[in-house]
Chain A
Amino acid sequence: MAAITVENLVKTYTTYKRGSGFLETLKSFVKRNPVTVRAVDDISFKIEKGVICGILGPNGAGKSTTIKMLCGALFPSGGKIDVMGYYPAKDRIKYVRKIGAVFGQRSQLIWDIPPIDSFAMNKAIYAIKDSDYKKRLDELTELFDVAEVIHKPTRVLSLGERMKCEFIMAMLHSPDIVFLDEPTIGLDVIAKTKIREVVGKMNQNGTTFILTTHDLEDVEQLADHVIIINHGKKVFDDTLPHLKSTLGNKKIVKLTLSKPYIGETINGANIIQRESELDISLEVDVEKQGINDFLNDLSNFVDFTDISIKELPMDMIITRIYNA
């Protein structure tokens, strides 16, 4: 069952173009030159209930604008959004009770006071019963391991501690869907791992997560469904395994050569990276040539002292989709 249905979603806004230099600045002071930007351009997709969906795209692709429209914070310029039967921007007050959101670069915690006070404020705003609040807070603080942290002023917390508290703030009212806009941005490995672990657990309990990120590990470890947006348009919409196979079945073979090799291909495989004179990476299309055959023939072309075989990295797949 689709929790989110988006049809032909469009968001345009007007900005003002201004050249550089004194004269241009003076000119724009007298007369501004409006430019209409199509931030989201006719996007349609469906997201099933209970999944983790990753929305990927380069900077300025329209991911955050899409998330803001899905959260009800922005009215679309065109198209339809249906989230659990609500039209987010129109039914905002009723709708936002059912969702949670964490914006990695916008804090919902109150800076000067401990997170526990911000949580208490949300308890009143969402009219959470005392018993439910206590149970949920205990559960979340234990999951994130922040029982002590929540009593310290937010301003003295580390970024990782603060993000964990942001998650608690967004989940106290047990939302059905949680929107995460770059939730692991700037975090260290330990904090990222913890957050991914908790998101995974909450998802197992039925919470749907929509996640925008630049960290492909977030997607590889969490997402069932991936949507890629570029220049406001949807360029991919399918499962993670399908994303991995979208460029065909390819492997990366890394070699440490005995002596430098100057050719562009080895045994029919392209050299895609030269880390040094002796360290090179080859892209092998295993649909054309089985990896076993490739390896058997390889020593006929070059001498090497070390070899490793890997899957095509996600960043390479994504970059090629962006550039397609």
Chain B
Amino acid sequence: MKYIKMYLACAHTAFSRAAAYRADFLLGSIITLLSNILFPLVTVLIYTNGATFPGWTMWEVLLIQSVYSMSTGAAAMFFYSVVWVTMEHIREGSFETVLLKPVSPLFFIASSNFDPQYGGLFLGGLVLTIVSSAHTNISGLSGILQFILLFTAGLAVMSGLYLVMAAITFKWVGNARIPEIFDSIITFGKYPAGIFPRGIRVLSTLIVPVSVIGYFPASALLGRLEPMAYISLIPCLLFLAFGIWIYNRMIKLYEGVGG
């Protein structure tokens, strides 16, 4: 309860900050939404020109991509700013101000930098998911429950990746290109895994399980879930746990060497 109250108070400051520059907030939300949500247009273009992703209809692929948008929007709202804020604190040598708060530094940074701008992306993804679902055969309640489980696991992977990136900034000070590596990695989650070579499938399922961001939850809704999806839940949890561990470990190193 204490932490929920704290989170809400910190998130409130984040909202106030966003509201301080209303035009910037609205424009940023629209740009984030458009740059991500327009992506499925490429899929529409591919299908309307006669090409396909073998074994998948256009609406099924769109469903994967809209679930992916929802997942990236939700994870970015809660964790993306951890990367930038940590990077900024380390570069400016102001991380001490975070360590002065009587809470976990990770909790403090994540809550006080909650980014409502990504809410638009989440909602856009949600609308597209509903539209795509209406054009496909959605499996029953068990499919929806499996979707919720895998969607949550996808959030865990994304959050874990954000934390790993944030942890890297402790050593790789001020490198603003780290998120580009991340964007390239998670792109594999946007497509049906079957279109990739076996090596990439194993990598995107078991090593860095980005398939759980869009492909697996959408497959659950469609009733086409592969057994491999359940195995990938383990690396999802491990990824989040590793992200939290490495971030906290880097803080310890900072406490040890900063000055």
Contact surface of A with B, Cβ cutoff 8 Å: 11, 13-14, 39, 65, 68, 71-75, 77, 89, 92-94, 96-97, 101, 103, 106-108, 110, 112-113, 117-118, 120-121, 123-127, 153
Contacts and interface: CB of A to CB of B under 8 A. Distances in A.
Given A112-B21, A124-B6, A125-B6, A73 B255 contact: yes
Contacts of B21: 112
16 contacts: A13-B258, A71-B99, A73-B258, A74-B256, A74-B258, A75-B255, A93-B103, A96-B101, A106-B93, A107-B97, A113-B16, A121-B9, A124-B9, A125-B9, A125-B10, A125-B101
Given A73-B100, A120-B13, 20 more contacts: A11-B259, A13-B259, A14-B257, A71-B100, A96-B99, A96-B100, A106-B93, A106-B96, A106-B97, A110-B13, A112-B21, A117-B16, A120-B12, A121-B9, A121-B10, A123-B9, A124-B8, A125-B9, A125-B101, A153-B20
A89 B255 contact: yes
A183 to B, nearest CB: 14
A68 B256 contact: no
A124 B16 CA distance: 16
| Chain A interface, >50% SS class | mixed
B108 A113 contact: no
A65 B102 CA distance: 20
A113 B20 contact: yes
Interface of B: 2, 5-6, 8-10, 12-13, 16-17, 20-21, 93-97, 99-104, 108, 112, 252, 255-259
Contact of B255 (A39, A74, A108, A121): A74
Contacts of A118: 13
Nearest to B96: A73
Contacts of B10: 121, 124-125
A113 B102 contact: no
A65 B259 contact: yes
A120 B14 CA distance: 12
Contacts of A13: 257-259
A270 B197 CA distance: 88
Contacts of B104: 93
Nearest to A179: B100
Given A101-B100, A103-B96, A127 B2 contact: yes
B97 to A, nearest CB: 5
B112 A121 contact: yes
Contacts of B101: 96, 125
